[in-house]
Amino acid sequence: MRRLLARAPGRAFAPGHTFAPGHTFAPAFALACACLLLAACGGDEPDASTEVPATVTGNVVQVEPAEGEVESFVVEQDGTRYELRIADDVDYGFDLHHVREHMDAGDPVRVSTEERSDGAYALSIEDV
């Protein structure tokens, strides 16, 4: 094993992997690691730049805060996640803890939404 790691410029680093004289493996490895790190970061977060449709149907994948009175929740529709806030001026007609039950059970919801100056709000939440 030690023999494969010690190499002269232009010789094989390992079978099938050659590099031109003066080139090292480190920059390529660092670039690959940086790309993987960027791809992994924030993959589950809602996309703030995505316009929220008037109706979102899908599974509840997150509820904030984790305990207590629901302030917002995330619905995933066709691979896109939408963060929807609870509006103080809307009577949803049920205890909002039910949204957590949908998340736990994996049961989908249909949500009518409205864009406001500070984000997207749920106007109605229905079982599907």
CATH number at residue 77: 2.40.50
Q: Radius of gyration (Cα) for the chain, nearest Å? A: 24
**Number of compact structural domains in the chain:** 2
8-34 residue pLDDT tens: 555 555 555 555 565 555 665 555 555
CA 116 to CA 90: how far, in whole Å?
A: 14
35 and 63 together in one domain: no
54-74 residue pLDDT tens: 999 999 999 999 899 999 999
Helix (H, G, I), strand (E, B) or coil at 117: coil
81 and 107 together in one domain: yes
CA 7 to CA 41: how far, in whole Å?
A: 35
The DSSP bridge partners found for residue 55 are 112
Domain, as residue range, for 121:
55-127
